[in-house]
Amino acid sequence: MGPARQRSTLVLLVLLLLLAAAMTPTLLTCASHLLSHSARRLARNPTSPLPALRLLSLLPASSPLRAFCPRARPSPIACSAYSTASAMADAADDTSSNPLLADFDFPPFDRVEPAHVRPGIRALLARLEGELEELEKGVEPAWEKLVHPLERIVDRLDVVWNVVDHLKAVKDSADLRAAVEDVQPEKVKFYLRLGQSKPIYEAFNAIRNSSDWDSLSDARKRVVEGQIKDAVLGGVALEDEQREKFNQIQQELEKLSEKFSENVLDATKKFEKLITDKKEIDGLPASALGLAAQTAVSKGHENASAENGPWMITLDAPSFMAVMQHAKNRALREEVYRAYLTRASSGDLDNTDIISQILKLRLEKAKLLGYKNFAEVSMARKMATVDRVQELLEKIRAASWDHAVQDMEDLKAFVKDSGSAEANDLAHWDLNFWSERLRESKYDIDEEGLRPYFALPKVMDGLFSLANKLFGITVEAADGLAPVWNSDVKFYCVKDSSNSPVAYFYFDPYSRPSEKRGGAWMNVVFSRSSVLARHGSSVRLPVAHMVCNQMPPVGDKPSLMTFREVETVFHEFGHALQHMLTRQDEAFVAGISGIEWDAVELPSQFMENWCYHKNTLLSIAKHYETGEPLPEEIYAKLVAAKNFRAGTFSLRQIRFASVDMELHTTYDPSGPVSVYDVDRRVAEKTQVLAPLPEDRFLCGFSHIFAGGYAAGYYSYKWAEVLSADAFSAFEDVGLDNEKAIEETGRRFRETVLALGGGKSPLEVFVAFRGREPSPEPLLRHNGLLPVAA
């Protein structure tokens, strides 16, 4: 329809509405809104289609003009609803008021709506495309003419896209998904265009080959080398058809990974089991009953209570683990276990074909780049090599196997001594339940009974006190300084010893199954940067967000944590510390940027060790009602139980890492062997109790199919070697020696936490430890070697 005809149609439709309004005057207001909105639409885009059917659909049911409208009759509030929608569309289309395009100190998480995503991202991409063209025209192999403008382009898109991506992870909705799906290909196209820019690539090569190379700082050398390597891995050397094919693969991989993640979330949300008979959930602790009742209330059962029900069981981690560890009802455990194990493996949410497509495309991408398999592509930006990874995994597997076999024998003997008929037929859904009973019996520890000692506010206070002692920083609440996406989100300011801010971070602690994906993670909001400094400061401070999924407060009780949840918070804070305490001012290597992926878990796993440090643990473990400290004898039992079933847990990680490596090295995704066949073969050497034939855990393995761990899950074990060895430096000086601990902590800050990607991880580790890493401390910490080793 041409512009002239559109305008005629608009006039006609409005006249018709005005005639109809003679019988229904309230439509006058509606017609005015519609005319105004449509006129603005035409002014902005003369060829855009007008919502004629929407106009007609607003006519009253009695109007003969309804004959023009094939849609269902509107509700009495349709006019006001459309007026509201019209205003929202105007606000979204008007990029001047789009919060994604605002000049903000902190992201406007509270104001970004799905309607802002399409126009906001598209307007930003158009602007950045112009800036990129200008950069390419005048590019020079000089830092200020190359790296500074490039940093501004990359940072702006990263920051804005991360806002959208983060909201999708913590505030998911159908509208947001649809918006992201629409603009994601355009975002990927721009990143490919940027990464394959030959003028930029050649300028970095010119710096690398210049006579000034040796005078550059280590950080700047790492920036240059990283940009060159990323460009090559991003297809800059490919030409014509090969480049086009590479870009198609990248687009498809992005889309498939997004769909994989959505299917896992939807499959997790889909399972709901309402229980009305309390006998069916006998054994569940009070905290789990409270959560199940609270979930039932959120699903429309307004009168649900912890005491009388009904109770809603879901596959969200706090609910799932409570059933697995405590429900005496074996049939319930089996039902929930099977549902969890087969998530996203059937029907519209089946990830099986998506996995196959992802693996095929990754292999094709690797071969386009000249590699034999995708694992080699992955290793190009990591510390390890495929051979060294396989060597490490086998060493830890061999050290763990006999311990895992003994774990199973001990468990069978315990179940038999308990007089349970399950002893003769121990199944996967029995293992966590009976392991928890064995742990309680062996160490006299009731994990649920410990929850009252681990109230979230007290845990955070203790964590911040530890950070002050080790690294000389102070963490203060700064709620209200930055917008947040949910009222439960906390905001903090990190200050140095001179009381000057050095960083900020958000903390989103609680599970929200209806909108928030599972797991725990830390991610970047802003990186430290001198180029992007604001308001006359010398540097832009780093900002991070930490996200967990622990049990929310129930009633008037604060969030009461399991010990494992305490470890998780310490873990994520370790990631945040490396991002926030960086001293690098080059954004491309500041914080966690530019660090080889298999080293990024070092600070996080290092922080977990402090959960077993006596002074640290006793400082956070106070009963939330009485203030009574955790009895020292219970602390001693926690330490004694630290390596309970360590062999089994170690093998579990080795299984995940091994199947990941095999799928990305020797596996042929076009061959007759399925990914499940590979997993079962790996499980023969890494799992004492064979997996169920219907085991489909791979369909929920988001780390490697929707995260950054493809051919990289081994990183957890690789970095665990580094972190255990790093913690052993504190053991060497004496964990009770406060002065020595403080000095060692400062050294850890000035190396591991401060240097970021400005030096290679091995150089950073040697700078802290004085030697290269050894796997012996890890095996010793896990009880897989004699202490004397």
Active site residues: 572
507 φ, ψ (degrees, to nearest 5)? -135, 115
Q: What is the bridge-based pairing of β-strands 543-550 and 521-526?
A: antiparallel
- Helical spans, DSSP H, in 213-285: 218-233, 240-270
3-state secondary structure 10-34: HHHHHHHHHHHHCCCCCHHHHHHHH
Q: Are 631 and 649 in contact (CB under 8 A)?
A: no
- Which of 161, 484, 485, 502 has its CA nearest to residue 493? 502
Distance CA 103, CA 155 (A): 13
Q: Are 367 and 234 in contact (CB under 8 A)?
A: no
Helix axis angle, 456-471 to 738-748, nearest 10°: 80
Cα 366 from chain centroid (whole Å): 25
Q: Which residues contact 144 (CB under 8 A, 6 or more apart)?
A: none
Q: Are 453 and 435 in contact (CB under 8 A)?
A: no
Q: Are 757 and 593 in contact (CB under 8 A)?
A: yes
Q: Which residues contact 289 (CB under 8 A, 6 or more apart)?
A: 281, 306, 307, 311
- Helical spans, DSSP H, in 299-446: 317-326, 330-341, 352-368, 374-379, 386-417, 428-443
The answer to whether the peptide bond before residue 310 is cis (omega within 30 degrees of 0) is yes
* Residue 499 falls in which region: left (phi positive, over 0), alpha (psi -120 to 50) or beta: left
Distance CA 507, CA 457 (A): 12
> DSSP 3-state assignment of 546?
strand
Distance CA 324, CA 320 (A): 6
Distance CA 250, CA 241 (A): 14
Q: Are 654 and 717 in contact (CB under 8 A)?
A: yes
Q: Are 769 and 752 in contact (CB under 8 A)?
A: no
∠ CA 528-534-537, nearest 5°, is 80
Distance CA 404, CA 643 (A): 11
Q: Are 587 and 531 in contact (CB under 8 A)?
A: yes
* Residues forming a β-bridge with 507: 490, 546
Q: Are 16 and 30 in contact (CB under 8 A)?
A: no
Q: Are 506 and 169 in contact (CB under 8 A)?
A: no
Q: Where are the beta strands (DSSP E) in 406-520?
A: 474-477, 490-495, 501-510
Cα dihedral 204, 208, 211, 215, rounded to 10, equals 100
3-state secondary structure 605-619: HHHHHHHHCHHHHHH
- Which of 158, 175, 154 has its CA nearest to residue 107? 158
Rg (CA), the chain: 29
Per-residue DSSP letter, 217:
-
Distance CA 113, CA 349 (A): 26
* Residues forming a β-bridge with 524: 544
Q: On the CB side of 494, how many CA atoms lie within 13 Å of its CA?
A: 27
